Structure 1
Amino acid sequence: MQRITITLDDELMQDLDRLIAARGGQNRSEAIRDLVRAGLQQATREENAGQPCVGVLSYVYDHAARDLSRRLTNTFHDHHDLTIASMHVHLDAENCLEVGILKGSMEEVQHFADHVTAERSVRHGSVQLIPVQSTPHE
């Protein structure tokens, strides 16, 4: 392991300490390592936007929201070339969870996920992009 020294302004340090407290007692070094890893993953996605990936898109939405179910279904149909599989779960009387497995370029999958999670009444959403190496068929 390498030891480094960094300087953070007071406001940023308070934000970091709040994050540590919210996550249940990590120390500052571990929190900064986690943030660096997340930043490196983001940079890798940006650098490899055209590279193939598999994405796991998960989101929770209000199933009673006007036309939302239809709009989401149409969005998936409009991008059928990206969708491998999906699963729908009724969480309670108001909320549904959708999980979609997507395949395409990192840029296409991220754009699609951003479009879905930006819909009104989609309450929570995230996408995990997993780079894949294409291997020639023998």
Structure 2
Amino acid sequence: MEKKLMRIGISLPGELLDKFDEALMKRGYSSRSEGIRDAIRTYNQHYEWMQQIKGTRAATISMVYDCSKKGITSALAEIQHEYLDLITSSVHFHMEENFCFEVIILEGDGEKIVELAEKILSLKGVKHSRLTTMPGERTE
């Protein structure tokens, strides 16, 4: 079966592309295309993993966001208020002038946790977000 290659164009900030190129060189990629294909495969695998999260879960969502972006703080608060039934605690601190680090600790329905994580990840100004989950059943 012949694989058809598709050509795409993307716009990136120069600093992001420089960091990507540096990582590609250190990891031994032969081209940007090879690195981008690998990054897309990893993204797709992560998305598929998130779709399999079901049942009662304990979880954390960690994020770094640009608190100087207009509306990001209020958007995060609004989203979190929609999911108060899941959130057990959160920790927030300022990393540097414009960047905040926050960890949200959750327990509840896995599908709702994923829904919350995806809403946070899609916000403009969120630079990094990571969901970690474990089965929520307690064993003694």
**TM-score normalized with structure 2 length:** 0.63
Report percent identity of matched pairs: 23
Match of 1:78 in 2: 82
Match of 1:28 in 2: none
Which one of 87, 93, 97 corresponds to residue 97 of structure 2?
93
Q: Give unmatched runs, 5+ long, in structure 2.
A: 4-23, 29-44
Q: CA deviation at 1:133?
A: 1.8
Deviations 1:80-136 (Å, cap 9, x if unpaired)? 11100000010000100010001111111011101011100101111001112267x
Q: Assess, with a 3 A threshold, how the Cα gap between structure 1 residues 132 and 99 changes in structure 2: closer, same or farther.
A: same
- Read off the aligned partner of 2:122 and give its amino acid letter: A
Q: How does 1:1-138 map to 2 (within 5 A)?
A: 21=27, 46-47=51-52, 49-133=53-137
> SS at the partner of 1:91?
strand
Greater Cα radius of gyration, structure 1 or 2: 1
Whether the aligned pair in 1 keeps the contact of 2:107 and 2:136 (CA below 8 Å) is: no
Q: Give unmatched runs, 5+ long, in structure 1.
A: 1-8, 10-17, 23-38
- Read off the aligned partner of 1:70 and give its amino acid letter: S
> SS at the partner of 1:113?
helix
Distance in 2 (CA, whole Å) between partners of 1:78 and 1:101 is: 15
Matched length: 105
> SS at the partner of 2:96?
coil
**TM-score normalized with structure 1 length:** 0.63
